[in-house]
Structure 1
Amino acid sequence: MNETINTLLNRRSIRKYKPEQIKDEELNVVLEAGKYAPSGGNQQSALFIVVQNKKAIEKISKMNAAVIGKDDVDPYYGAPTIILVLADKSKATPVEDASIALGNMYNAAYSIGLGSCWIHRTKQMFESEEGKALLKEWGVEGDYVGVGSCILGYPDCEQPKAAPRKDNFVVMVK
């Protein structure tokens, strides 16, 4: 089987990570894959904010947990690297652009041996006053919408098995 197809069929969300930080070279591969994702009109509206600082991770973890109303959970599953993906609202297809960039990053991560998982609630986090202040603190200017987060790390678990695919997934019109 072709290596790309193998990656697409076998990548799974990882929810348990070793505390060891990923290598910069690995991070750069994942970010490069995200940068080269297709975008509407080639407007490249996605913005990647890489968070590896432990205090910053604790802060955004609390923000994310607050959205779901649970103080006692780590929505990022202990991953040592979090890529917050936002998109420029002024572009034609910001959510779509950022979503496919996230997809590219997950597949790139798997292809080099990293675990990854999509984490929701980035939109709500950065619509809040606390989130807006954090973006300003990080030097992010502009009108952005939070789309999702890509967590990365070395898996500390077995590779999950694929769930069965649903019936009637494809409708053929020839």
Structure 2
Amino acid sequence: MNEVMDALVNRRSVRKYKAEAVPEELVKEIVEAGLYAPSGMGYQKPVIVAVTDKETRDELSDLNRKAGGWKEGFDPFYGAPVVISVLTPKDWDKGVEDGSLAIGQMLLAAHALGLGGCWIHRAKEVFETEEGKEILKKAGLEGEYLGIGNLVIGYADQQPKAAPRKAGRAFFIK
């Protein structure tokens, strides 16, 4: 199996991370992979906000926790030291698709670089709050954006295994 197919088949969502920081150059490589994701009509509308600052990361985690309805103390980012949020302009009708492709591509990049990753929902709800908008301003991003998703990355503290694939999900017309 070639390297790309191996990554596609063997990448798993990681839900437990070591506290070890991720080197900035690896974060930049992952973000670059997201910037190269396919986009509707080639317009490249998704924007990516990478957060390595612990205080901001913890603030995002708490906003996500509240949006999910969990009790105080729960970390929906599973201890990952890096959060990468993907957003698109609210008026872009292909935003969900474009942003989803960027997240998927960054998940594969993280795996290829020896890191674990997991897609975390509720970016829409988080970035609709005033606190979420302030975080975007801190990154230099202003305007009307739709949160598509968050990608958390770090060094895995677990090695999840793939569940067997369910039958009856692929169809071919010959």
Q: Deviations over 1:14-53 (max 9, x none)?
A: 1111111111221121111111000001111111111111
SS at the partner of 2:153? strand
Three-state SS of the structure 1 residue aligned to 2:21 is coil
Give the CA RMSD over aligned residues: 1.2
Matches within 5 A, 1:81-92: 81-92=82-93
CA contact (8 A) 1:12 1:162 kept: yes
The separation in 2 between residues aligned to 1:139 and 1:166, in whole angstroms, is 44
Gaps of 5+ in 2: none
Equivalences for residues 27-38 of structure 1 within 5 A: 27-38=27-38
Q: In structure 1, give the amino acid aligned to 2:144.
A: D
Mean Cα displacement is larger for which, 86-95 or 60-69? Answer: 86-95
The farther-off stretch of 68-77 and 83-92 is 83-92
Are residues 1:124 and 2:125 paired?
Answer: yes
Residues 11, 110 of structure 1: 8 Å contact kept:
yes
**Structural mapping, 1:56-135, within 5 Å:** 56-70=56-70, 71-135=72-136
The range that moved more, 73-82 or 87-96, is 87-96
What is the alpha-carbon distance in structure 2 between the residues aligned to residue 30 and residue 54 of structure 1? 19
1:102 maps to a residue whose letter is: I
> Residue 20 of structure 2 aligns to which amino acid in structure 1?
E
Segments of 4+ moved more than 6 angstroms:
none
CA contact (8 A) 2:117 2:151 kept: yes
Deviation, 1:57, is 1.2
Structure 1: gaps spanning 5 or more residues: none
Conserved? CA contact 2:88–2:145, under 8 Å: yes
Q: CA deviation at 1:13?
A: 0.6
Contact 1:22 1:154 in 2 (8 A): yes
How many pairs align?
173
Question: What CA distance in whole angstroms lies between the structure 2 residues aligned with 1:40 and 1:127?
Answer: 24
How far apart are residue 91 of structure 1 and its match?
2.7
AA matched with 1:52: T
Give the letter aligned to residue 49 of structure 2: I
User: Whole-Å Cα distance in 1 between the matches of residues 97 and 6 of structure 2?
Assistant: 24
